[in-house]
Amino acid sequence: MPPLAQRNLFHDKVRLTVTLTGIVFAVVLIVVELGLFVGFTKTTSGLIDHSNADLWITSRNVPYIEQGVAFSERKLNQVRAVSGVEDAEKYIAHWTQWKLPNGSEESVQIVGINVESNLGRPWNLVQGRVEDLKNPNAIILDELYKEKLGVTRVNQIVEINGHRARVVGFTHGIRSFTTSPYVFTTFKNAQDYTGLREDQAYYILVTLAPGANAKQVQYDILAQVKDVDVLTTPQFSHMTQFYWMFTTGAGVAVLLAAVLGLVVGFVVVAQTIYATTVDHLREYGTLKAMGAPNRYVYKVIVKQAAISALIGYVLGMIVSAFVVHASQSGGAAILLPLPLAVGMFFLTLIMCIGAAMISINKVTRLDPAMVFKG
Amino acid sequence: MQPAIAVRELKKTYAEGRSGVTALRGVNLDANAGELLMLMGPSGSGKTTLLSIMGCILSATSGSVRIAGQEVTGLNQKQLPAVRLQHIGFIFQGFNLFPTLTASENVELMLDLKGVRAIEAKKRAHELLTQVGLGDKHKSFPTDLSGGQKQRVAIARALAGEPEIILADEPTAALDSHIGRNVIQMLSELAHTRRRAVVVVTHDSRVLDFADRIIRIEDGVVASPDLPERMPPAGILPNGLPQSIANLA
C-alpha cells in the first residue's frame, strides 16, 4: 500500500504535534500513576518480601505487618519443634518514638531481628554491615530519612523512646509506606525501644527444611501452636498490600488517577485523529468510489493511529524514564517494571486504535457519491 | 456485442420531505466499447445522478443497469465496490488526487487496490504516467502540477485498474480550453484505440466535437438521443488534432 497513512499523519505537523502531545501526556500520566501504585504496593510489603522467610507466624487475625499483636516467645520453641521447620526466629515490627535533635518526636517503625540469622535482615546497605548491629544499641536506617530524623553520619548517637541508640549503617531505598521510617536493630534492642516485654515477640519467621511441604508445615504449626495464624510470605505480603492499597483507599486514588490519564489520552487522541480523518474525508470518499472496500480505508486510519501510538509511546517512555529516575531520591518511588512497560505499549495501542474507531464510524457512513459534488 | 453499460427504465427519487425529488424518470441508454459518449444537460437535469448510478456509486430506485452484462441494481453496498474496482475507472471534475502522495503513488494506490505487488505497481505506474506524458513528473506531488497535469494523473490512475468503462464527471471544468480539449482528446484516444467505453458528463460545448454520441438529459429523461451519431476510425481523431499526447500542457 502506498504510504497514505504515514503521509496524511506527517503532512500536518501541528496536528501531529498535538496528537503526540496527547499520547505522551497520557502515557506519562498512566506510567507515573501505575508506577506509583506498583511502588506503593511494593513498599507496603517490603519488609515481608525481603525477609527470606517461608512462613510468618502472627497472632490471630493480624491484617497487616504494622498491626502485629505481641505473643509469648515460648511459641518459638514450639514452632522449632514442628517437623519441616529448619529455622525459626523472633521478629519485631512496631512503632515507637524517635527524638529529634530539636527535642520534638518523630514516629519510626522498629524492626528487631536476630543478627545471627538470615531472616528479616536489612538489605541494600550502602554504609556499615548488618553484623555491626551486634554492637551495643546499634541501629541501621535508610539514607532517605537522614534529614527527617536529623541524622547526618554513622556513629551519631540518637534517642529512641527514651533509650540511647547509635547509628552504625545506612541502607538505600528501603522506604516505608507510612511516614514512619524503618529502624533496624537487634531483637533485644527492639524490645527496649518498643517497650515490649522480654518474653514477648510480634512475629516468628520460619524457614522450611529442604523438601518440606509448606501447606503441611502450616497445618502442623496450627495444630501444635495455639492462637496463631500461619501465613506464607506471599500470603502475608498480599494481605498487607491489600490493606494499605484498598482498605485505606490510597491505591484506589492512584488507580483512579491512572484511569483519568487513560481517559484524557483517549479523548485527545480521538479528537485529533477524528479531525485528521475529517480533513481527509474527500480522499476516503475517492478511495471508496475507486472501489476500495471499507476495510481498506479502515486500514489507513488504524495505521495512522498505530504509528501515532508507537511514536507517542516511545516519547512517553523517555519522559517517564526521567520521572522514574528522579523519583528514586524522593520519598515515593515510582517503579517501572518490564511488565508495566510492555503492558503500557499495548494499552497505548488500544487507546489510539480505540480512538480511531470513532473516525472509522464516520468513514463507514461516508457516501462515495460525495466525490461528484464539486 | 453487448454494450459495456446498458441502462433500462432507470428511475431515481431522492427522499426529501414527504414527496421526494425525482432525478431520473425512466432513462434508457447504452454505452459501447470503443466510443466516447457525452452526457449533456442543464444543471439539475440528472446527468450526475445517472453517472453515479452507472458507476455503481448510487443505487437506483427502479430500473436496470447492466455493467459488462452483469445486473448491478440488486447488489448491496458490500458488493458494489468490487464491481467498481473490476470494471470502472473514474475521472473527477476536481481531480480528486491524494495530495500527500506523489503522482506515481496516486497511480500505485489504484494498483494496490487491484492487488498488484508494490514493485510491479511502481513499474506500471511509471509506464502509465509516461503514456499520459508525465514520465518526468512521477515524483511530483499534485500541488506541484498544473491542472492539466493533475487530470492526466487522474486518467493514468483510472487506467491503472484496466477498466472497460471510464466515467468522467466534468473533466474539463477546471481547465482552460486548450488543456480541456487535450484531455478530452486523450479520452477519445482511449475509447478508440483501447476499446474503452468512455462516458463524459460535460457542460463544455468546446469539446463536443470529440463525441461519438451526445445524449442530452433534461428533467430526468433522455431528451435527444444519439446526437451527432458518428464513429471515427480507430486511431483517427476529430478536427485533425494530433494523436500525440506528449506535448500536452
Per the CB < 8 A criterion, the answer to whether A95 and A111 are in contact is: no
Residue B57 has its nearest CB partner, among A2, A293, A368, at: A368
Q: How many other C-beta atoms can be found within 10 angstroms of the C-beta atom of residue A300?
A: 23
CA distance A93 to B31: 93
Mean model confidence pLDDT for chain B: 84
From chain A, the residues in CB contact with B101 under 8 A are 2-4, 7
Ranked by mean pLDDT, the top range of B70-79, B98-107, B235-244 is B98-107
Rounded to the nearest angstrom, the minimum Cα separation between B97 and chain A is: 8
Using pLDDT thresholds of 50, 70 and 90, give the confidence band for residue B235. Answer: very low
- Cell (9 digits) for A321: 524514564
What is the reported pTM? 0.76
What kind and span of H or E run contains B26?
strand B21-31
How do the pLDDT tens digits run along chain A, 374 residues long? 778 888 888 888 888 898 888 889 889 988 988 898 888 888 899 999 999 999 999 999 999 999 899 999 899 999 999 999 999 999 999 999 999 988 899 999 999 999 999 999 999 999 999 999 999 999 999 999 999 999 999 999 999 999 999 999 999 989 888 889 999 999 999 999 999 998 999 999 999 999 999 999 999 999 999 999 999 999 999 999 999 888 888 888 888 888 887 788 778 778 877 887 788 888 888 888 889 988 888 898 899 889 999 999 999 999 999 999 888 777 677 889 999 999 999 999 998 888 888 888 888 877 777 777 65
A291/B84 CB distance under 8 A: yes
Per the CB < 8 A criterion, the answer to whether B203 and B175 are in contact is: no
Say yes or no to pLDDT of B230 above 50. Answer: no
Alpha helices in chain A (DSSP H): 4-11, 13-44, 46-49, 75-80, 146-149, 187-194, 214-224, 233-242, 250-279, 281-289, 294-327, 338-364
Q: How many other C-beta atoms can be found within 10 angstroms of the C-beta atom of residue A199?
A: 11
DSSP secondary structure code for residue B227 in this structure? E
Q: Which of A95, A97, A96, A87 is nearest to A51 (CA)?
A: A87
Residue A288 has its nearest CB partner, among B81, B98, B99, at: B81
What is the amino acid identity at position B33? A
How many CA atoms within 13 Å lie on the side-chain side of A354?
Answer: 13
Per the CB < 8 A criterion, the answer to whether B106 and B97 are in contact is: yes
**Positive or negative, the Cα torsion across B81, B87, B93, B99?**
positive
Residue B81 has its nearest CB partner, among A4, A11, A291, at: A291
The pLDDT assigned to A331 comes to 65
